[in-house]
């Protein structure tokens, strides 16, 4: 078998080898480290991972050979919670935030998400496409090879929701980074439904979800379950309909108030519950029992300056699998930098470097239902990997706030070089 690309003499090769399932508890620390490692790729797939190239793998002058000395190689990073496609930006809220206004204060003042809704409704397909493409390029430069992208800035304007999902679909086709789409019409109560939120829930269920499912525009459905947004009952109603239509389930759960989102995610066996800053101990236990992945977003806590972060250590101890994402969005977390999120997760939430890399590779893949083909370096899987200009994993997390990426390989092709 002839290799098309080989990376050899890799100082630290982090394979994440093991079962294709979310890794929880002690398993989240097993990263399959190989010293002086070699990865061989044929076309878009990995054909060998180890420390001595077997004879059946041929190398000739057409094989690209990369030197891994002084480098750390990991599976391509997976940013499994973003609001990638949107119009506008909200730097004008910075002054309010510095004076201590909370997310809900800004929302009540008619700002926050509603200003992004307005900007996204007004933006053309092309404007949204170009803006999101720019962000995808940045994500790729930080080592991200798969991104989840939610709609949710059209809300009651269904055409805008569809526009967002179609932009994501087109970018998935055009851009090296893969995009997994999530429908999140239930992202805010539209201003005109303020007094009749249940009517809006009915519209999502009866009019929006069936079309999203029929046109196969999203793999998942997500709901912002929070005080002042969607209640537990409303969230349950929407997600049950989504499930009936064959969509996977996600939930923005217990970000601000302990509403019972973690418990609801467990009840509905959601693939992930995200945020979880205020999740109750019972909710965490219930998630562990049902195998719900905790998708943590420390960049959001950091940017909102709440001082409150999800109890990551508690989640690990209770054997909940943890994923980590940017939550990239124009309001509560305007950054595409997953490496910064990895540092925050370790420095603030006390996850170990091993738990962090697990969270952005195999557990990220599992939270998107793609762990059979992505998220670890094993023969047969897609050749998505990052070469970091860093001698070891700890260095990437410790030397924070900069970009350590040397090269990114997607489907066996070098798609980013420093
Ligand atoms: Zn979010």
- Indicate whether 207 pLDDT > 80: yes
- Indicate whether 20 pLDDT > 80: yes
- Indicate whether 355 pLDDT > 80: yes
Q: What is the crossing angle of helices 125-141 and 158-174, to 10°? A: 50
Q: How far is the CA of 157 from the centre of ligand 1 (A)?
A: 19
Contact 73, 37 (CB under 8 A): yes
Query: pLDDT at position 103, please?
Result: 73
Question: Angle at the Cα of 56 (from 55 to 60), degrees rounded to 5?
Answer: 85
What is the pLDDT averaged over residues 98-126?
88
Q: How far is the CA of 268 from the centre of ligand 1 (A)?
A: 19
- Quickly state the pLDDT bin for 156 (edges 50, 70, 90): very high
- Quickly state the pLDDT bin for 337 (edges 50, 70, 90): very high
Residue 132 backbone dihedrals phi, psi, to 5 degrees: -65, -35
Please name the helix (run of DSSP H) or strand (run of DSSP E) that holds residue 403, with its range, or none.
Answer: none
Q: Which of 39, 10, 72 lies closest to 389 in space, CA to CA? A: 72
Q: How far is the CA of 83 from the centre of ligand 1 (A)?
A: 6
Q: According to CATH, where is 3.20.20.140 located in the chain?
A: 78-366
- Indicate whether 254 pLDDT > 80: yes
Name 275's bridge partners.
253
Q: Which two tokens stand for residue 171?
A: 């970018």
Query: pLDDT at position 105, please?
Result: 83
Q: How far is the CA of 260 from the centre of ligand 1 (A)?
A: 17
Q: How far is the CA of 151 from the centre of ligand 1 (A)?
A: 10
Q: How far is the CA of 326 from the centre of ligand 1 (A)?
A: 9
Q: How far is the CA of 81 from the centre of ligand 1 (A)?
A: 6
Domain 5-76+376-417 CATH superfamily: Urease, subunit C, domain 1 (2.30.40.10)
Question: Which residue is associated with the tokens 């991972």?
Answer: 49
What is the pLDDT averaged over residues 16-23?
98
What is the pLDDT averaged over residues 159-165?
98
Using a pLDDT cut of 70, give the percent of the chain over it.
100
Query: CA 346 to CA 332: how far, in whole Å?
Result: 20
Query: pLDDT at position 178, please?
Result: 98
Q: How far is the CA of 55 from the centre of ligand 1 (A)?
A: 48
Q: How far is the CA of 342 from the centre of ligand 1 (A)?
A: 17
Q: How far is the CA of 224 from the centre of ligand 1 (A)?
A: 8
Q: How far is the CA of 230 from the centre of ligand 1 (A)?
A: 14
Q: How far is the CA of 252 from the centre of ligand 1 (A)?
A: 7
Q: How far is the CA of 66 from the centre of ligand 1 (A)?
A: 37
pLDDT tens digits, one per residue of 281-304 = 999 999 999 999 999 999 999 998
Query: CA 276 to CA 289: how far, in whole Å?
Result: 16
Contact 415, 142 (CB under 8 A): no
Sign of CA dihedral 362, 363, 368, 370: positive
Query: CA 317 to CA 242: how far, in whole Å?
Result: 31
| Gyration radius from the chain CA atoms | 21
Write down the CATH number for the domain with range 78-366: 3.20.20.140
Q: How far is the CA of 376 from the centre of ligand 1 (A)?
A: 25
Q: How far is the CA of 211 from the centre of ligand 1 (A)?
A: 23
Name 186's bridge partners.
223
Q: According to CATH, where is 2.30.40.10 located in the chain?
A: 5-76+376-417
Question: Which residue is associated with the tokens 């076309």?
Answer: 43
E strand segments, 43-153: 45-50, 64-67, 72-75, 77-79, 144-150
- Indicate whether 323 pLDDT > 90: yes
Query: pLDDT at position 106, please?
Result: 84
CB under 5 Å of ion ligand 1: residues: 327
Name 5's bridge partners.
41, 64
pLDDT tens digits, one per residue of 29-49 = 999 999 999 999 999 999 999
- Quickly state the pLDDT bin for 111 (edges 50, 70, 90): confident
- Quickly state the pLDDT bin for 418 (edges 50, 70, 90): very high
pLDDT tens digits, one per residue of 66-107 = 999 999 999 999 999 999 999 999 998 888 888 888 877 887
Q: How far is the CA of 325 from the centre of ligand 1 (A)?
A: 9
Query: pLDDT at position 95, please?
Result: 87
Q: How far is the CA of 70 from the centre of ligand 1 (A)?
A: 36
Question: How many Cα neighbours within 13 Å face the side chain of 109?
Answer: 11
Query: CA 185 to CA 162: how far, in whole Å?
Result: 10
User: Quick count: other Cβ atoms within 10 Å of Cβ 361?
Assistant: 30
- CA 168 vs CA 84, 85, 323, 336: distances in Å: 8, 7, 22, 16
- Indicate whether 406 pLDDT > 80: yes
- CA 10 vs CA 233, 346, 354, 399: distances in Å: 51, 24, 18, 20
- CA 9 vs CA 51, 333, 415: distances in Å: 8, 38, 21
pLDDT tens digits, one per residue of 163-193 = 999 999 999 999 999 999 999 999 999 989 9
- Quickly state the pLDDT bin for 110 (edges 50, 70, 90): confident
Q: Which two tokens stand for residue 186?
A: 């239930």
- Indicate whether 387 pLDDT > 80: yes
Q: Which two tokens stand for residue 117?
A: 């809704």
- Coil, strand or helix at 13: strand
User: What mean pLDDT, rounded, does the chain reach?
Assistant: 97
Question: Which residue is associated with the tokens 């990220």?
Answer: 364
Q: How far is the CA of 10 from the centre of ligand 1 (A)?
A: 36
Using a pLDDT cut of 90, give the percent of the chain over it.
93
pLDDT tens digits, one per residue of 258-287 = 999 999 999 999 999 999 999 999 999 999
């Amino acid at each position: 078998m002839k290799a098309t690309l080989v990376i050899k003499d890799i100082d630290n090769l982090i394979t994440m080898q093991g079962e294709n399932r979310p890794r929880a508890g002690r398993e989240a620390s097993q990263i399959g480290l190989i010293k002086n490692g070699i990865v061989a790729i044929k076309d878009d797939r990995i054909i060998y991972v180890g420390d001595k190239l077997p004879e059946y793998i041929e190398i000739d002058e057409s094989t690209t050979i990369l030197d891994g000395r002084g480098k750390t190689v990991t599976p391509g990073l997976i940013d499994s919670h973003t609001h990638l496609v949107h119009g506008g930006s909200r730097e004008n809220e910075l002054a309010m935030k510095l004076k201590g206004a909370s997310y809900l204060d800004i929302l009540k003042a008619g700002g926050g998400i509603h200003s992004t809704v307005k900007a996204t409704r007004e933006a053309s397909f092309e404007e949204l496409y170009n803006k999101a493409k720019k962000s995808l390029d940045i994500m790729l430069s930080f080592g991200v090879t798969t991104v989840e992208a939610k709609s949710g800035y059209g809300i009651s304007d269904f055409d805008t929701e569809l526009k967002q999902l179609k932009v994501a679909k087109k970018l998935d086709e055009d851009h090296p980074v893969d995009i997994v789409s999530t429908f999140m019409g239930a992202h805010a109560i539209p201003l005109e439904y303020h007094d009749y939120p249940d009517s809006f829930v009915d519209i999502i269920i009866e009019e929006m979800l069936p079309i999203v499912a029929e046109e196969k525009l999203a793999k998942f459905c997500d709901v912002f379950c929070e005080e002042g947004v969607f209640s537990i009952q409303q969230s349950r109603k929407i997600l049950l309909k989504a499930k009936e239509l064959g969509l996977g389930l996600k939930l923005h759960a217990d970000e601000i108030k302990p509403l019972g989102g973690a418990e609801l995610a467990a009840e509905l066996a959601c693939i992930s519950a995200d945020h979880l800053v205020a999740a109750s101990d019972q909710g965490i236990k219930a998630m562990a029992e049902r195998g719900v992945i905790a998708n943590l977003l420390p960049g959001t806590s950091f940017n909102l300056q709440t001082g409150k972060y999800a109890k990551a250590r508690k989640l690990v101890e209770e054997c909940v699998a943890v994923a980590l994402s940017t939550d990239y969005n124009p309001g509560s977390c305007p950054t595409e930098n997953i490496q910064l999120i990895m540092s925050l997760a370790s420095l603030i939430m006390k996850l170990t470097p091993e738990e962090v890399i697990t969270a952005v590779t195999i557990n990220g893949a599992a939270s998107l239902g793609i762990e059979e083909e992505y998220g670890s370096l094993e023969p047969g899987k897609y050749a998505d990997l990052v070469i970091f200009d860093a001698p070891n994993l700890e260095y990437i997390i410790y030397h924070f706030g900069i970009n350590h990426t040397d090269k990114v390989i997607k489907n066996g092709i070098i798609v980013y070089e420093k």
